Amino acid sequence: MTQPLPKKWLFPAGALLVLLLLILWMLGLIGGDKTEPGLTPLPAQPAPQRETARVIKQTFRETPAWPGIVKAFSEARVAPKINARILEVAVREGDRIKQGALLVRLDAEQPQTREREASAHAAAAKAEAVRAEADLKRTRELFEQEAATREAYEHAEAAARKAAAAARAAEQNVREAALQRSETVLTAPFGGVIARRLHEPGDMGLAGEPIVVLHNPSALRLEASVPAYCAVRIRTGDPVTARIDALKASLDAKIGEIVPAADPLTGTVLIKADLPETKDLQPGLFGWLDQSCGTEHTALLIPAAALHRIGQVEAVTVVEDGRLIARHVRSGFVRGEFVEILSGLDEGETVVIQ
């Protein structure tokens, strides 16, 4: 005969049994119908009077935007042609200057020394050429009087030609030395604004290394790299729109130049659009070049107010058979007061505007 459990175990055993039944009920194994996993549509509700709109289909001509940088049409990187110490930089960044204005003055001591040496050598060479010419004239007269040999005459003639050539070379050295001396003063090749000052007095100016950068602010352009498949549809003179983020402005531009070769690494072509003269527009600003590639796109549209989001979930309320039904959708680009619907709706359906 089985002995009954002591009374002290009855309460814990009962509590354990109740907990087990509660877990089974929460899992849906007992006590009602089991809910299948997946999406469960909300129960339909009677449709009250609300503002509604139909899902429409519309075709757009795509106008992609390509990033670009504003650059000056005319830019000069002013650099010396000789190595010399910088004595003076007469301009600062932002200065507006005229053509021919002094920009940089270099140490001219060495060029002046070379010019004096070249001048002295040229004078000596010229004197030697005069002497050789006089010897030739005297030898020619003696040769004509048969008082000098042909060999002496030919020797005097060769010496005169050599001395004349040396004199011409010496004069050329003088001109080159004078040109080098003139290169110690750098002036503006055109009127504009100093964009950058790269060196200071006391620095060593190196041949070919810019000291200041000058640009013309009245002639600017937006340079953008456009994929080749789109660039082939663009022609010089085509009107385009350039958007400058810093100015929050859209400018009417015109294609001014198309680089004829594509970049083999990126498959893009450099497009340069001429910009109109605009206040506060300056080189270095970031912008977008809007240019249609001739492609079209068809999309379903609903009013943006009909779309509501709960976290990352997007949904609309659809009127179906006189009832309101919530439906999950996936949206795309916003186009003004409308938004594209990529999935979840069909053309002609009615949605509720929130």
pLDDT at position 1, please?
Answer: 46
pLDDT at position 37, please?
Answer: 45
User: How many other β-carbons are positioned within 10 Å of the β-carbon of residue 251?
Assistant: 19
Mean of pLDDT over the chain: 83
Q: Which residue has the higher pLDDT, 270 or 31?
A: 270
115-124: list long-range contacts, CB under 8 Å, 24+ apart: 115/174, 115/177, 115/178, 115/180, 115/181, 117/177, 118/170, 118/173, 118/174, 118/176, 118/177, 119/174, 119/177, 121/170, 121/173, 122/167, 122/170, 122/171, 122/173, 122/174, 124/170
Q: Which residue has the higher pLDDT, 234 or 1?
A: 234
Confidence of residue 41 (pLDDT cuts 50, 70, 90): low
- pLDDT tens for residues 101-132? 999 999 988 888 888 888 889 898 899 888 88
Does residue 2 register a pLDDT over 50? no
- pLDDT tens for residues 7-17? 566 666 767 77
pLDDT at position 8, please?
Answer: 60
Q: Is the pTM of this model over 0.75?
A: no
Does residue 61 register a pLDDT over 80? no
pLDDT at position 295, please?
Answer: 66
Does residue 212 register a pLDDT over 90? yes
pLDDT at position 49, please?
Answer: 65
pLDDT at position 174, please?
Answer: 85
Which secondary-structure segment (H or E) carries 85? strand 84-89
What percent of the chain is modeled with pLDDT above 90? 26
pLDDT at position 224, please?
Answer: 93
Report the Cα 163 to chain-centroid distance in Å: 59
Q: What gap in Å lies between CA 106 and CA 84, rounded to an integer?
A: 6
Per-residue tokens: 230 = 């789109």
Q: What gap in Å lies between CA 72 and CA 194, rounded to an integer?
A: 12
Taken in order of first residue, the domains within the chain and their CATH numbers are 45-60+297-352 (2.40.420.20), 65-73+217-290 (2.40.30.170), 75-106+184-214 (2.40.50.100), 109-182 (1.10.287)
pLDDT at position 201, please?
Answer: 92
Q: What gap in Å lies between CA 279 and CA 285, rounded to an integer?
A: 13
Main-chain phi, psi angles of 230, to 5 degrees: -95, -35
